[in-house]
């Protein structure tokens, strides 16, 4: 029955034999489709059990002062391994450019910085050079969701997932289905996606583009207000029949002041290498990490 429903949905959305739908869906049809979209994103997420492979991250962080930009740019390569909600990301990034006069930015061009992110399912640890932070996985992930020094952790989600896939109810953990609304059909690349919106605080809207033909994955999302917003675009890949995940994420964010002048821009491009696989065996040793003795540990949960 589940497969039949999926086939019927694909027939409605993209047609058979390349024939497109004659007319856009009505709001009544979109409303009826929303539960299927929510469940579809959950089913695809639940189908991802493990993964392992190489990921590269390119980051460009631009700040503006009096209209003059300063750029911090880096490129890193990391090995990712995860089983369920336990994972380890380890590697290093190289600073390609650093022309900022900000004294808090210590890593100049040419510096190679080892970085590790580990989660045991509950606690999350980030180690960058000789400093370490440990805390609740979701809270710490959100805190560093725009951190250039931990760019490896930005895999298209701010909920602390190593695999870069999420679901509608995972994106909005405090929302019920009544807090979401399917609003339109819209092409993303060559895919006909369903646009789902959620608004909070009467002004901040999060918008998701769900691709029913690609495992109900979220191929694009954006949130925030005009003065402070983020957009994530995901290129999807079928890792095994019916199991979809990312092959690339592009994260772009902007901050403006009250007068509309640009304060900062952040671009992070994460690419999953051909050796990255989902639902493959991952040894327990691949998830173990011992904090070096010379690392200064800060436990955020105890502050």
pLDDT at 32 over 80: yes
Q: What length does the chain have?
A: 303
User: What is the model's pLDDT at position 8?
Assistant: 33
pLDDT at 159: 43
Domain map (residue ranges) of the chain: 46-168+198-302
Q: Minimum mean pLDDT among 22-26, 70-74, 251-255, 276-280: which range? A: 22-26
Reported pTM: 0.80
Q: What local confidence, expressed as pLDDT, does residue 282 receive?
A: 95
- The answer to whether the beta carbons of residues 69 and 62 sit under 8 Å apart is yes
Q: Could you count the other beta carbons within 10 Å of the beta carbon of residue 212? A: 22
Q: Is the pLDDT of residue 301 over 80?
A: no
Residues 6+ apart with CB under 8 A from 19: none
Q: Which of 18-27, 127-136, 224-233 has the lowest mean pLDDT?
A: 127-136
Nearest 5 degrees, angle CA 191-CA 194-CA 196? Answer: 140
- How much is the pLDDT for 221? 86
What is the rounded CA–CA span in Å between residue 126 and residue 141? 10
Is 2.50.20 the CATH classification of the domain at 46-168+198-302? yes
Average pLDDT rounded to a whole number, residues 15-44: 78
Retrieve residue 184's tokens. Answer: 């339109």
């Amino acid at each position: 029955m589940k497969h039949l429903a999926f086939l019927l949905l694909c027939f409605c959305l993209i047609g058979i034999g390349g024939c497109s739908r004659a007319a856009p869906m009505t709001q009544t049809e979109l409303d009826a489709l929303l539960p299927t979209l929510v469940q579809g994103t959950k089913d695809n997420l639940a189908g991802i059990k493990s993964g392992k492979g190489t990921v590269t991250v390119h980051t460009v962080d631009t700040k503006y002062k009096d209209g003059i930009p300063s750029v911090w740019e880096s490129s890193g390569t990391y090995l990712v391994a995860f089983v369920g909600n336990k994972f380890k990301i380890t590697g290093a990034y190289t600073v390609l450019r650093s022309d900022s006069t900000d004294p808090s930015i210590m890593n100049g061009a040419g510096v190679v910085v080892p970085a590790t992110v580990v989660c045991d399912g509950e606690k999350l640890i980030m180690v960058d050079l000789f400093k370490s932070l440990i805390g609740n996985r979701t809270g710490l992930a959100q805190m560093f969701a725009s951190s250039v020094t931990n760019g490896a952790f930005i895999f298209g989600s701010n909920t602390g997932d190593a695999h870069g896939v999420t679901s509608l109810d995972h994106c909005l953990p405090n929302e019920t289905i009544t807090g979401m609304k399917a609003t339109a059909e819209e092409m993303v690349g060559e895919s006909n996606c369903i646009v789902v919106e959620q608004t909070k605080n009467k002004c901040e809207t999060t918008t998701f583009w769900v691709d029913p033909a690609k495992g109900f994955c979220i191929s694009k999302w954006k949130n925030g207000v005009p003065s402070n917003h983020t957009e994530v675009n995901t290129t999807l890949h079928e890792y095994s029949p019916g199991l979809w995940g990312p092959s690339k994420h592009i994260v772009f964010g902007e901050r403006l002041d009250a007068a509309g002048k640009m304060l900062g821009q952040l671009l992070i491009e994460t690419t999953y290498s051909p050796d990255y696989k989902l639902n493959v065996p991952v040894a327990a040793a691949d998830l173990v990490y011992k904090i070096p003795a010379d690392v200064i540990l800060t436990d955020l949960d105890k502050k």
